[in-house]
Chain A
């Protein structure tokens, strides 16, 4: 598997996008910390950017990459290679490239400027978020043959999880505010990987005023460490489940 992943990785590095992404993250992280003297506030701004940019870049890049590697996949399929191996090689290579870009772009500045436990968890949450959205992108890509449609579905995932879902959550909380909603919101937050990442970092940053309703309850319910453990576990589930369905679809797809 690694042999194929190596060739895919080589192809990804050739088109330089991942390098631009790394530089972009480096610039953002450095400039946020140099603009704000309070490192806590700066990492909060960084959090908001990460929660927006990382899922978007991961899902769009992966989808475009998948459609561009159709020829490569076609070539491999005529060889004595298992489809599953092709699929996981593609996933590994893309996830690895984006993870390294993220770790270098955000991790290195954080390590020098703000080496703190909260920085570590921010790094971890962003990493898991990368995997979740790469996995969702694979799901979007195998569900259609049309590139434009595939990118459309991928974008829809992003819109849904970063914008629409929160609106939906607020609406529920307002409409049913007369009822005890704590456990329901807990469940609902678990259904959105971006929320999970946000809450886990806010728990660690300990800014209760910004945690909002769900966050506050989250902390009361789990306590900091169990909460972190739970949300990182859920993010892993969010990686594995779409990947599982994407693989199943890929195995029976006509190329």
Chain B
């Protein structure tokens, strides 16, 4: 479980997160949506301790994350744009990560097989296409069997087959009771994958409830239309 209380973050004068308070419960799957620059990635990076907020608190499984790092063993992170050492081979990358995480015994290499990454283990990271990089990021996120998965635009750049592979992996892990945070601009994907929605705009939480509730309130069947209705009416409900 993750609980965030009045989180503030400014980059210079720009206020990226403004008193964001949310709770993410285990076994649920959250869709984080909002326009470009609404603070989705910053929120995620705060959770991972990559960006340090100006004020506010974040607890993961009941313990504060500030000045701590051990909580990250429960988190798998798939970044929006995966940056990897250019000269490193794919095989070496997985080897290194396993070496650094030798504490973790439960290794889940399913995505490596499914994405056929084992066939290109000798390729260097800089020679990979954007989509293949995404596959590497995805495989890494699930590798250590974490109980919380944070996926930042997971399907962007993936080919249709890979998208389906990833989606069914997410469904399977969700069924095991894992907590998912997924950002995406492809709302139809989120409609399938998530149970709840967090709508951010300019650093504010505009909507935070279950998707079913949102659809009932707006009288729409599809998440896309329901969100459009929220944006139109500026339905503030936190």
Closest-by-CB residue of B relative to A70 is B83
* Contact yes or no, B77 A78, CB < 8 A: yes
In the complex, whether A75 has a CB less than 8 A from a CB of chain B is yes
Q: How far is the CB of A129 from chain B (nearest CB, A)?
A: 29
In the complex, whether B169 has a CB less than 8 A from a CB of chain A is no
In the complex, which residues of chain A have a beta carbon less than 8 angstroms from the beta carbon of B52?
Answer: 252, 254
Give the number of residues in B that approach A within 8 Å (Cβ atoms). 27
In the complex, which residues of chain B have a beta carbon less than 8 angstroms from the beta carbon of A7?
Answer: 96, 99-100
* Bitwise interface map of A from 14 to 57 toward B, beta carbon under 8 Å scored 1, else 0: 11000000000000000000000000000000000000000000
Checking A3, A70, A72, A80 against B71 with a beta-carbon cut-off of 8 angstroms, the contacting residue is: A80
Q: How far is the CB of A238 from chain B (nearest CB, A)?
A: 29
Contacts A78-B48, A78-B75; A3 near B97 (Cβ below 8 A): no
In the complex, whether A255 has a CB less than 8 A from a CB of chain B is yes
Q: How far is the CB of A174 from chain B (nearest CB, A)?
A: 45
* Contact yes or no, B85 A3, CB < 8 A: no
In the complex, which residues of chain B have a beta carbon less than 8 angstroms from the beta carbon of A4?
Answer: 100
Contacts A71-B83, A72-B85; A77 near B100 (Cβ below 8 A): no
Interface of A is mostly: helix
In the complex, whether A76 has a CB less than 8 A from a CB of chain B is yes
In the complex, which residues of chain B have a beta carbon less than 8 angstroms from the beta carbon of A15?
Answer: 87
Between-chain CB contacts (< 8 Å), 27 pairs: A3-B100, A14-B87, A71-B85, A71-B86, A72-B85, A74-B79, A75-B84, A75-B85, A76-B100, A77-B48, A77-B49, A78-B48, A78-B50, A78-B75, A78-B79, A79-B97, A79-B100, A80-B69, A80-B70, A80-B72, A80-B73, A81-B69, A81-B72, A81-B100, A82-B69, A254-B11, A254-B45
A interface list, Cβ under 8 A from B: 3-4, 7, 11, 14-15, 69-72, 74-83, 252, 254-255
In the complex, whether B101 has a CB less than 8 A from a CB of chain A is yes
Interface of B is mostly: loop
B interface list, Cβ under 8 A from A: 11, 45, 48-52, 69-73, 75, 77, 79, 83-88, 96-97, 99-101, 103
Q: How far is the CB of A16 from chain B (nearest CB, A)?
A: 11
Closest-by-CB residue of A relative to B76 is A78
In the complex, which residues of chain A have a beta carbon less than 8 angstroms from the beta carbon of B49?
Answer: 77, 83
In the complex, which residues of chain A have a beta carbon less than 8 angstroms from the beta carbon of B50?
Answer: 74, 77-78, 254-255
* Contact yes or no, A79 B72, CB < 8 A: yes
